Amino acid sequence: MADDSGQDKTEAPSSKRLDDARRKGQVPRSRELNTFVTLIVSAAFFFFTGHQMTDGLMAMMKNQFQLDRQEIFDPATIIQHLQTALFDGLLVILPLMLVLLIVDLLTPVLMGGWNFSSEAYEPKFSKLNPLTGIKKIIGIQGLIELVKAIIKVILIGWVSWTVFMLHFDEFMGLSRLPLPQALQLMADVITLSLLIVSAAMLVLVAIDVPYQLWHHHEQLKMTKQDVRDEAKESEGSPEVKGRIRQLQMQASQRRMMEAVPKADVIVTNPTHFAVALQYSPEQAGAPILVAKGVDLMAAQIRNIALANKVTLVAAPGLARALYYSTELDHEIPRGLFLAVAQVLAYVFQLRAAVQNGWSKPVPPTDVAVPDEFRH
């Protein structure tokens, strides 16, 4: 089967598509399964409570239909007896009605589960389109439903006719039996008929349930384009995600550049890498990397540092180690403490020399970097 785009629906429905279909009320259902469960429960109910029902009907008839001459010719009394008989009869069959109501509520659990969808009850003008209705009737699904209905009528009709013929003599003799025996016989025949019809329906259920599950799955299958579109919808299109990443990167770069003037030192490669460190001796903790970059970004960091008189120290190995091992706004790793301490000691000595007019210290020329941090 192909959709409007000309692509075959070859992909299994995704969990999102299944959830959307369920929200719209599209779940697998089998009418034959509902009918079968209703018949078998009714048969079981008659088997276990048929005698009580016939006794109740018998008591109702005795109480309401045994009238004397005066009551027979009194219209008001007749109406009162009919009303009472109707009420008593409803009380007799009320348990069966309640059981069938519960069965109708519980049967959906067997296939598709309970599903309450407000969207399924929303008015849609497309449902009023006669062309849509005709397509459903004369389409493949309509033909399948017609064949199922014909098979059901033939099967149930044949079973019912067979049961009737087996009990033909008993039916013909009902008029000669006392009323209690006639009612009891009818209850037994109804129970047997329901059991046999239920067994016949089981054949249809065994065919219809797998078909409905397969048909529901086929209806929800997706084309490859559907899968791609759903991925874009759930995860965002690559263009939007790329734009978001670009904006995030720009914001991160702005924060870095704003942090460079507050840094204590810029460790450089000296041309390709630049790493800005900030350290406060009064606060516990290791130095923090507040900015880093390579090539053009490194050049921008150096320019801002020079403009704000932040000390630059050329330590190629340490600059690369800090760049690759430390995330932005994180403390430097423990293995680089000694190397960074050499650089910071020089920076603090340089500050003191400038403030007091002393001779400037010699910059560190051989900052040792552990082997595991070498790049």
Task: Tell me the per-residue pLDDT of 168-196, one tens digit each, with 9 for 90 and over.
Answer: 887 788 778 887 788 778 777 778 888 88
pLDDT of residue 1: 42
- 44 neighbors 103 (Cβ within 8 angstroms): no
From 3-7, 41-45, 115-119, 189-193, the region with the lowest mean pLDDT: 3-7
pTM of the model: 0.48
Question: From the CA atom positions of the chain, what is the Rg in Å?
Answer: 44
Across the range 253-263, mean pLDDT stands at 93
- 270 neighbors 363 (Cβ within 8 angstroms): no
Average pLDDT value over all residues in the chain? 83
Confidence of residue 339 (pLDDT cuts 50, 70, 90): very high
Give the model confidence (pLDDT) of 88-141 as tens digits.
Answer: 888 888 988 998 899 888 888 888 777 766 665 555 555 555 665 566 666 677
222 has a pLDDT exceeding 80: yes
Q: Which residues of 166-190 are buried (b: 16+ CB within 10 A; e: fewer)?
A: ebeeeeeeeeeeeeeebbbbbbbbb
Backbone torsions φ then ψ of 313, nearest 5 degrees = -125, 125
